[in-house]
Amino acid sequence: MRTLIYLSTCATDAKGVPCAFLHHELGWLTEHFDRVLLCGHAGVGWAQAGQAAIPLAKPLWPRLRAALGAPFSRDVWREWAHLRRDGKLTPVHALKVLVFAIRGRTLAGWARPALRAGGAVTVYAFWMSYDAYAAALIKARHPGVRAVARGHAFEIDLARNPMNPYLMKAKIGEELDGIFPISGDAQARLLACAPMPAGKVRVLPLGSAGDGIPERWPAPRFAQGALHVVSCASIHRIKQVPVLIDALARWQGGRLEWLHIGGGVDEAAVRAYAAAKLGGRADIQYRITGAITADQVLDFYAKQPFDVFVNTSSSEGVPVSIMEALRAGLPIIAPAVGGIPELVDDAVGILYAPEGGADAVRQALEQIAAQTPEQAQAMRQAAQTRWAERCRNAALLAQLFPEAQG
């Protein structure tokens, strides 16, 4: 019996529906492990292949024990001392450390049923946040388990969260068997945030599930006479969707259709901005889907043809949204930020300088629109090859979990 304990702050929503990240991995995990226990902010539950929603519980006793024990934890006192040495110990910072510890200890408590059942156990923390701290706590008490964590962006970047060096990074580095930042950029940010033991850190990209989507040719602009643009992101400040709207407002290249997949906290404001900027344009049609499921996102790429995918984020790790676009054979326009340049180059799209803003996006769209059919076809084929070589989940997860092979 081989068990995986999957720890993630956002494994599912409150109804047990897997988040986009888990959606891409769950099929492989349930196929290669006999049992998969999910522990996240929404609760704990056993996952089965093909479940639309995972039944979750929130056992009270582990939560109470975590809250009662955290103030007396050596880990908490070590981080308070760390803050004091750096001249940053304030009531707010001390409370953040305590809350972080309670959350991590709660996840570790919820994982105990899987540890009592026996057999080989792997503990997998998707983020270097309190889920990785929970993995470290489990590893400390159960040395025979294999415990690993990924590292992305917010939870390892000092600039995005100045508290990161004081959120149990030393404990995580001491205990875990492996730490896998998703890009070279993420690795550099992690090591700048906190030193890690030599030999434990290795770059391993995120991936997306399934096989390559059959390529659509000719591309829409050759078949239908309009440039079809797609973007996919939650709508909040970091994703900078208004930058794309501004670029489209300056577009003078003929008919264009834009689809944005996703919703979020700033959706109403972005819808109003799009209406003000694009609503009077006869040559531009647009649609914003609002929040949809991961399966619905994939359905768009499987059934609807596009010419180009656009990302306008101010900060990124290695976006799964770009991987999914590559899988569909779409050229990519994206800013040279975070780990994006490790995935996108001029073979598969156009990287623009982020300081170029809307004009840089517009110019990139014009370059894509000016391609000959031969150039467009070559870039679309290169996009799918890039996905198969660097983003295919089956190959990447096999590297992350060699113990699950055979």
pLDDT in tens, 8-23: 999 999 999 998 889 8
Percent of the chain with pLDDT over 70: 100
Residue 71 pLDDT > 70, yes or no? yes
Tokens for 239?
Answer: 């994703």
Predicted local distance difference test score (pLDDT) of residue 49: 82
Predicted local distance difference test score (pLDDT) of residue 234: 94
Q: Confidence band (pLDDT; 50, 70, 90) for 106?
A: very high
Question: Do 2-207+393-404 and 220-390 fold alike per CATH?
Answer: yes
Residue 117 pLDDT > 90, yes or no? no
Residue 182 pLDDT > 70, yes or no? yes
Tokens for 175?
Answer: 């205990």
Mean pLDDT, rounded, for 217-227: 93
Mean pLDDT, rounded, for 173-185: 96
Q: CA–CA separation, 46 vs 390, rounded Å?
A: 30
Q: CA–CA separation, 397 vs 21, rounded Å?
A: 13
Predicted local distance difference test score (pLDDT) of residue 216: 81
* The residue count for the chain: 406
Residue 209 pLDDT > 90, yes or no? no
> What's at 232, amino acid-wise?
C
CATH 2.30.110.10 for domain 2-207+393-404, yes or no, is no
Pairing of strands 178-181, 146-151: parallel
Predicted local distance difference test score (pLDDT) of residue 50: 80
Q: Confidence band (pLDDT; 50, 70, 90) for 224?
A: very high
Predicted local distance difference test score (pLDDT) of residue 382: 97
Predicted local distance difference test score (pLDDT) of residue 118: 78
Coil vs helix vs strand at 173: helix
Predicted local distance difference test score (pLDDT) of residue 179: 98
Measured at the CA of 245, the angle between CA 241 and CA 246, to 5 degrees, comes to 115
Residue 67 has phi, psi (to 5 degrees) of -65, -40
pLDDT in tens, 305-364: 999 999 999 988 889 999 999 999 999 999 999 999 999 999 999 999 999 999 999 999
Tokens for 55?
Answer: 């039944």
Tokens for 15?
Answer: 């109804």
CA 68 to chain centre: 33
Average pLDDT over the chain reads 94
Is-contact 361 352, C-beta < 8 A?
yes
pLDDT in tens, 76-99: 999 999 999 999 999 999 999 999
Coil vs helix vs strand at 353: coil
Q: CA–CA separation, 15 vs 31, rounded Å?
A: 23
Instruction: Say if pTM beats, i.e. exceeds, 0.85.
Output: yes
In the chain, where are the structural domains located? 2-207+393-404, 220-390
pLDDT in tens, 246-299: 999 999 999 999 999 999 999 999 999 999 999 989 999 999 999 988 888 888
Coil vs helix vs strand at 160: coil
Fill in the DSSP letter of residue 156: T
Q: CA–CA separation, 334 vs 313, rounded Å?
A: 8
What residue spans of 250-337 are helical by DSSP H?
A: 267-278, 294-303, 320-327
- Exposure string for 186-218, b = 16+ CB within 10 A, e = fewer: bbebbeebbebeeebbebbbbbbbeeebeebee
Instruction: Provide CB contacts within 8 A for 52, sequence distance 6+.
Output: 17
Is-contact 54 159, C-beta < 8 A?
no
Q: Which CATH class is domain 220-390?
A: alpha beta
Predicted local distance difference test score (pLDDT) of residue 210: 82
Residue 367 pLDDT > 70, yes or no? yes
| Maximum alpha-carbon separation in the chain | 67
Distances (CA, A) of 326 to 37, 291, 306, 314, 323: 31, 22, 12, 20, 5
Mean pLDDT, rounded, for 71-76: 97
Residue 406 pLDDT > 70, yes or no? no
